[in-house]
Chains A and B, each alone.
Chain A
């Protein structure tokens, strides 16, 4: 075996090598035309914005986007020839579409903050609305009762729909029984049930029959109907991703099918299953119609899931947003802001739980 040796001079020049990214270097005319393609449309649109009354969305979609497409197309043609044009069209559209969704999200959160932030305060989170009328100033009252209601209803809905949803997914992917196509079809059909229909259904068979009052339980049942297909379908997808090697591996160790599913397959898909639950909660947490029908409304804080009608954040928003009192409207927007923060907190918690790794 021979060793490679360098003479001292080569060695020194090797040690002085700097890391570079040659593929990033572009001829100057590239840089120039790309800069022009970025700056010119932006300048034109800024000028129009300052001098005319064209609404911003129209300005962006009808004027800026086509202008940017043309400018990038010309720049691409100038630098890479005709084959560059298709590239530039795809890139501009992709960037535009991603920007668009970011803008939508940012403006939703922005409008919530602008209109609702003045209603949010510590007592807004913890007090209920007893003795509070729509004209009461923001110094009094809050949505504590609605937050408790929403959490209780979502908890009950999860308690019902998560086990059933996961069991359905296990039937489809693990048991692989004869009814799989039918089960899959019904789950799919169920995801198309409008939320108001779920509410009406529970109102008819649970509340109107006198079995239960309008309550957190009845509201939870309505939510469960809406959550179930989302949980089941997402769980099915993640269970399918678990390699068959693990199933045969467990069976080869003398495991029963039930133990294989409970101790190997589901733990291996844990993160995905938590995602399935998150998606289910996200699907329902803002639904208003089912709760107007099945859970009712209340100004007091209710913790008994069966006793009496209960408030929730969506129904609180619904009841306040259209009132002719600025403070009531501000409360509604404030509640919407709190609801979105609540969802963010739930998601973060679920992610943290789901990330927990084995060992250590």
Chain B
């Protein structure tokens, strides 16, 4: 794709955003500006500009390998842990660039939590220990651990299932329960933003539904950014959607973004229309 064409796409993006003014956005919590990403010499993402309004859910959709997961990992500085990773542009959190030399990535990750595709509870800890592990690992002081455990497990929709066996090993839980436990763990450190990288892809429909309810509930207090391959899920949980695409070996980029209703109901781009209707990807 030529630069001209690319700018063309970007223009359409901006129109897309303007079209979404029917859903007035609150103040911006996070924003990516011209984010491009490389692994070694290979450019995998190009010029991603997305703003994430406070206390909303934004879904990142697109075919596999288009850089959604890579992008979400740039938002809490996990990207830099991969050898050979590089980045251009800036990621603003509360107006400040998180890649500024003076910023401690540990501090950023404490405020921008993450839930991964595969549930990863710590096997050496109990259910309760897992919920509180963020506090221990980050050295954060919060009183009333019992209350935190109950609050976060309730928020994650797991409390009733585990309240009588908080001392059991986390590995004894089912996959869906483990994923909700991991969500509770992320909430215990009170993040302002929660990144979710395909949190339901390994789960059965019932667990998926529970997590979606949890996401809707959480979005009253937390800004959520979720990568998903499930179109219905994006429609069900998100306020805004960004469609990523990587065509014929070119780096991934945002084809179209805006209010979820617009992206799915009235997309401006033929490629978006094709994708959301399952015609490719």
Contacts and interface: CB of A to CB of B under 8 A. Distances in A.
Contact of A253 (B118, B129, B134, B171): B134
21 contacts: A245-B118, A246-B120, A250-B122, A250-B133, A250-B137, A251-B78, A252-B78, A252-B109, A252-B116, A254-B111, A254-B137, A255-B134, A255-B137, A259-B139, A263-B137, A264-B137, A268-B122, A358-B171, A359-B167, A359-B172, A360-B169
A43 B189 CA distance: 74
A253 B169 contact: no
A358 B137 contact: no
| Ranked 8 nearest A-B pairs via Cβ | A254-B110, A267-B124, A255-B137, A254-B138, A253-B134, A245-B120, A252-B114, A358-B169
A256 interface: yes
A249 interface: yes
Contact of A248 (B78, B133, B172): B78
A259 B139 CA distance: 9
A115 interface: no
A112 B115 CA distance: 58
A57 interface: no
Nearest to B182: A249
B107 interface: yes
B186 interface: yes
Specify which of A246, A249, A253, A360 lies most central, judged by the most chain B CB atoms within 10 Å of its CB.
Answer: A253
A259 B110 CA distance: 14
B169 A252 contact: no
Interface residues of A, number: 23
A270 interface: yes
Contacts of B76: 252
A260 interface: yes
Interface string B180-194: 001001100100000
A178 interface: no
B113 A253 contact: yes
Interface of A: 243, 245-246, 248-256, 259-260, 263-264, 267-268, 270, 357-360
Task: Say which size band chain B's interface belongs to.
Answer: 35 or more
B71 to A, nearest CB: 15
B189 A254 contact: yes
Interface of B: 76, 78, 81, 106-107, 109-111, 113-114, 116, 118, 120, 122-127, 129, 133-134, 136-140, 167-172, 182, 185-186, 189
Contact of A245 (B106, B116, B167, B172): B116
A251 B109 contact: yes
Nearest to B188: A253
Contacts of A256: 106, 137
Nearest to A259: B137
Given A250-B122, A359-B172, 7 more contacts: A246-B120, A248-B120, A249-B116, A249-B182, A250-B133, A253-B109, A259-B138
Nearest to A254: B110
Given A253-B189, A254-B189, A260 B124 contact: no
B126 A263 contact: no
Contact of B106 (A246, A248, A255): A255
Nearest to B186: A253
A259 B81 CA distance: 16
B120 A358 contact: no
Contacts of A253: 109-110, 113, 133-134, 137-138, 185-186, 189
A268 B123 contact: yes
Contacts of B139: 259
A208 B95 CA distance: 67
A152 B185 CA distance: 44
B85 to A, nearest CB: 13
A84 B210 CA distance: 55
Contacts of A250: 122, 133, 137
Nearest to A357: B169
A249 B138 contact: no
B81 A251 contact: yes
Contacts of B106: 254-256
A265 to B, nearest CB: 9
Contact of B113 (A243, A252, A267, A270): A252
Contacts of B134: 253-255
Contacts of B189: 253-254
Contacts of B138: 253-255, 259
A264 B138 CA distance: 12
Nearest to B185: A253
A260 B170 CA distance: 18
A248 B81 CA distance: 9
Contact of A263 (B136, B140, B171, B185): B136
Contacts of A245: 116, 118, 120
A231 to B, nearest CB: 20
A252 B133 CA distance: 12
A360 B169 CA distance: 8
A33 to B, nearest CB: 49
Nearest to B117: A245
A243 B171 CA distance: 14
